[in-house]
Every structure is written in structure tokens, then in C-alpha cells.
Amino acid sequence: MKCDSPVRLRKSADIQFFGNKTLEYDGKGNATKVPWLFSWPPSAAPRGDLTWDFDNQLKNYTLTVGPTTIDIDFRYDALGRRVSRDTNSYFGSEYYHRGDKVYVCDGDQVIAEYKPQTEGADAMHKYVYGTYVDEVCVFIDRVEPLASTLGSEEFRYYHRNNQYSVVALTDDTSTGVILERYTYNSYGVPMRLDPDGTLHGAKWYYSDVGNQYLFTGRRWDSWLGVSVR
């Protein structure tokens, strides 16, 4: 298992259409054009363009939504682990968690994330795991919610079901206040819920506190609309 490498959509999986949207593939069977977020209404889902390298690792993802073009490059180390993500622009404060990142891995697990050129400073995010490779237990966050600055460390705790899918995230207070809840459709696409269990409006597909570990303990990339492993 590769640390944080995007899951491949293969032609052999026989996924040819999403509603009225056609999926396209390259000669190796890698998907090259897919709808963003398979759970969107098909008529509303824009299609993203994917480029793969010689080792079938995702090299670039480009998505155009209205007047905005999102262009993301991925880089890997010799072991095939994703080590950085570079975007074409700063997305604004509410997307700070999803901007440029450098990933630090310990074996097959991401243990820290930094903003580029700040690797010697404090990490944006750090993670603590249990005994299973996908058993993330603690999320240590220094990014102020919906802000573009680093603050003091905040400890968040994961709560999982028997599939290791995260169903809730709580804070480090004595009562363990629920910050967010999560549910999933039949294909593992996560939907964020408010603490009371209601769907979080139009922005259900990403976390205000930057949580990315969701279905079966895998990382969800909200720009790609797929899990990475």
C-alpha cells in the first residue's frame, strides 16, 4: 500500500458513464476525464482532466468550474508516496486546508503536513495512529478554522465504526464536544454532518477543521472527489 497515492479509476471497473457524463481513459486504462464528485447531480457535475505518469500515478488534475480553473500538480518519492501537492493559486481562507502541501510519511502513513518552504517550522497538521495502518486516532491541527494563519495546537479525536470509517470528530475538552459527524453513500463518498446529525448545507463535501480521513480511514481529497491511499 502506498502512502497517500490517489486511487486509480480503471476502465476494467466498467464505469463508462455518470448520468449523462462520459468517462474517458488512456491506453493503460487510467481515467483521464471524470465528473467532479460522483455524488453531484449528473447534469451539474463539471468534468476534471487527469494526467498520469509512466508509473500510473496521478501527475496533474485540472478542473474548470465557471470562471475558475483549478490546476493541481502532484509529486512522489522513489517509493511511490505522494510528497507534495502544488496548486495554481491561493484558494482563499476557507480553502487553506486544501492548498499547497508537503507531506511527511513514516512508512505508509502520513504523519505531518507543512506548507511549502516552511518544513523547518511548525507543521500545519500532525497525525497519530493506532496499530492498524488506516487507524488514525488523533489529528493535531494548527490551522485556525476558516482562516489562513497558524495558531496553537488543537487536538481532535477520531471516532470510527467497524469498517474504520470515521463517523465523528471531537475536541479535547473534558466532555469531548462533537465538532463534525460524517456519513457515506454506497460508493464511500463522504457527506459531512453538523454535530446534531443534519447535513451541512451546500458545503457538505469538505471539513471546516481540515479533517481529511474518512471512509475506511482513507484520506478524502475533496478537489478530486476520490479517496487516496
* 2-6, 10-14, 147-151, range with greatest mean pLDDT: 147-151
Q: How far apart are the first and last CA of the chain?
A: 7
Q: Which residue has the higher pLDDT, 204 or 146?
A: 204
**Stretch 111-123: mean pLDDT:** 79
Angle at 206 between CA 126 and CA 58, to 5 degrees: 75
Query: Given the DSSP bridges, would you call strands 47-52 and 58-65 parallel, antiparallel or unpaired?
Result: antiparallel
Q: Which residue has the higher pLDDT, 93 or 58?
A: 58
State the amino acid at position 214 in one-letter form: L
At which residue does the C-alpha cell 481540515 appear? 210
| Per-residue pLDDT tens over the stretch 156-195 | 999 999 999 999 999 998 889 999 999 998 878 888 899 9
Residue 75 scores a pLDDT above 90? yes
| Per-residue pLDDT tens over the stretch 12-35 | 455 666 556 677 888 888 888 876
Residue 8 scores a pLDDT above 60? no
Q: In the predicted model, what is the mean pLDDT of the chain?
A: 79
Residue 51 scores a pLDDT above 80? yes
What gap in Å lies between CA 96 and CA 197, rounded to an integer? 25
Residue 141 scores a pLDDT above 70? yes
At which residue does the C-alpha cell 469538505 appear? 206
Closest by CA position to 29, among listed 39, 44, 19, 14: 14
What gap in Å lies between CA 115 and CA 212, rounded to an integer? 16
DSSP string computed for the chain: --TTPBPP-BGGGT--EETTEEPEE-TTSBEEEEESSTTS-TTT-PEEEEEE-TTS-EEEEEEEETTEEEEEEEEE-TTS-EEEEEESS---GGGGGGS-EEEEEETTEEEEEE-TT-TTS--SEEEEE-SSTT-EEEEEEEEPTTSSSEEEEEEEEEEE-TTS-EEEEE-SSTT--EEEEEEE-TT--EEEE-TTS-B-GGGTTS-TT---B-GGGPEEETTTTEEE-
What gap in Å lies between CA 133 and CA 111, rounded to an integer? 12
What gap in Å lies between CA 8 and CA 163, rounded to an integer? 21
